[in-house]
Structure 1
Amino acid sequence: MKKSLIAASLLAAISSNAFAAEDSSDKYWVGGFTEIYKPDEEKSFDFTSFDAGLGLGAEVGVRESEHWGGRFEIAKVSLENDADLVDDSATRFGIDAMYFLEDDLMYIFGGLKHIDMVDSGSMANLGLGKHWDLSEKVKLVTEIAAYHDFGEAYNDVSAKLGLAYTFGSTAPKAPGDADQDGVNDNLDQCPDTAIGARVDSTGCSIDTDADGVLNDIDQCPNTPAGTPVGAKGCSLALDSDQDGVLDNVDQCANTPLTDKVDSTGCSIFEEVEVRETLEVLFANNSSVIQNPDSAKFQEFADFMKRFPNTQTAIEGHASAPGKADYNMMISLKRAKAVRTLLIEKYGIAADRLSAEGFGETQLLDTSNTAAAHKVNRRIEAVVTAIKKEKVLR
């Protein structure tokens, strides 16, 4: 009885000290088990040796956090022996500290045990186990353990199978912070906040200037209180094109909302090469343009005006039928006609345009068909500089 009280006191000490830092309610279990217990082959008392035997036992445990728990255990094992002993049983009792792995994959336990087996002794034990869910409250218990006798250096082993009934509640798993905004997931009302964004106590982005647009998309974060703003948080009165640059410093006042802009409010461009084929219609053996009002001409003229540092070569090409020198001449006349049209009708500076004829020297389709001849008769505008393409928001 005294030994049982000592063991119970040790279990209480482990619980109160090892788990003192956890602020949680307890979860308890009680269980019964059967086991196979095998003493060390060298273990003998008064020339009596023992072999493996079956035992029955009971345990009571407490799990005070996600990972830590402890228990008291008592078991009685009937052992085979080579002598005619009146009492061939062994009684074992003691305590274990238990560490449960992530997601209750298994638990590791270790503790101190006292055993009465002809003679009495103390042992340390170490083992692995798992609580398998049979229902919400009932668990199947499986364990293996090794025991080391402090007195004679004997090593016993055992395997356990049992049932446990759980009750009470344990501390919930500590909530994580998936978006790393400093607010735990169980409190975070905006779980996908951009990393690095300033948030309030609910985990949502802060609207510092109280204009109704959160900081992570507000391009004008210091808008005066009460100022009407657009979707980007900029004053409708002070930033007409809503690009985040106020009108008093905006050098490109009508920037499209899709464009990313620099500090002057102008679209940011990246460099790409440009080659444009103009759709120009000519009558047979003629250099007179039949579609001078084509939208394609206006689009190209707008491009040239937007990028004033570019130079363009207007290249004329002919189809294969006919004499080569005639084809060279007519292709040059057609290129010059397009150049003149762009200068006189669409306002492109003459020094930015040149004209050249290539005749039939650069055919796109060498087959002798009407479709091939149509493809080969073409005007190409080759921009000799670099176009800067807009970067979108």
Structure 2
Amino acid sequence: MKHFSKFLLASMLVLGLTSVNAQDANNPWSIGIQTNAVDFYPTGEDAPQGDWFNDYFNTGDHWNILPSVSRLTVGRYIGAGFVAEFAGSINQIEHFGDRPVDDLSYYSADLSANYSLRALLNDGWFDPVLGVGGGYNWIGDTDNDLQGFDGLTLNGKLGLNFWFTDNVALTVESNYKHSFETETASHFQHAAGIKFIFGGTDSDGDGVYDKDDECPETPGLPEFNGCPDSDGDGIEDRMDECPNEAGLAQFNGCPDTDGDGVADPQDECPNEAGTAEMNGCPDADGDGVADNEDDCPNEAGPAENNGCPYEDADGDGVLDKDDECPNVAGTAANNGCPEPTAEVVSELNEYSNTVLFDLNKATISTESEDALNSIADIMEEYSNTVFHIEGHTDSSGSDQYNLQLSKERAQSVKDYLVSAGIPENRLTSEGYGETRPIASNSTSSGRQENRRVEISLDEDKEMREDTSN
């Protein structure tokens, strides 16, 4: 008994290092292989039996021990912590209380309902068991005055299981068997041995039985009820949008490599910190165009120009996109194109004053062509300017005649300039007759000055559609 106590203490110290399972719905079956001892003494009966629990541990004088596999058990978990167990035993009786007897054969078959207290102790390795049941016991005849007997018993049990793996336990128990047939047949039966539990199914071999495994076909972890966490980020694959890349819970298991608060799957620039507005990409110049789409990432510019600022090639203050003359400095009022100065207009009129017509006709004389070609050359330099051609006469003749002749002569000049390459939509013409004299019509020299063609800027007219083609 002294050595047995030392063995039990050592076992408890070793087993205490491990948290294991016990018989339950996942491992419903058990088989026990035991050695048993039968003791008739401490049962509170008449001599040769002693008072209750008297010499309970007196193994030398009162215990009948068969030092071999002498008791087998089969158990089945039935739920709520209860196990139904059948036990069959054999033994040789040499001590009947404090009285020696010849070897008597001992056989028993017992059925009990056992309840585990392990769940009350935080499911550790230490597993106390209480049981109640009944059995049938038979003890063989002797050649002395002690008669053989057999009969039914009411059994009560106290046992301890020490689980040191998921499926194996060291078990010790003490059963009191109260005989209904013969009072002297009441006795204690003690047993110690090994118990094996089995019967649970773990299809994926992850240590979580299928009954409790939410992913029974895929190896997983107990903390996730048998489901895997492939990337080890603490988020099980079923809830992980990036199951093969370790990530963060706030991004449903996906990483944020550049730490910009945009998860990699939604980040168009996962290796460069950016902003959510730019889908995770940076915008160095703050122009609202992400750097990866910005042709000028360090200069702010509009999206319609690919993030680059518009140029003003001629430096006239009118951006090239709005400048109808991007390579020639002009004015904003003239859409970036140059406007003729007063000197230019004066030069045009110096040429126009030399234009001659046939008498009382609108036909331009041949010697006036050089002057008109010079006018056309000047007009070509101002490609965005609309010029107005005015026809004037002296007071000779009727007003109606003079007005018509002035219109026809102005139109003749316009037609010549169009033929010289000036777009028609840049020219207007009108005749004013004798209504705008610049000299006296009383003298021959004055009337000659009044017969003229003048060129001015048509500032109030937009360029018309070109109908010259």
TM-score range, shorter chain: 0.3 to 0.5
Higher strand share: 1
User: Whose relative contact order is higher, 1 or 2, with alpha carbons under 8 Å and at least 6 apart?
Assistant: 1
Structure whose alpha-carbon radius of gyration is higher: 2
With normalisation by structure 2, the TM-score equals 0.32
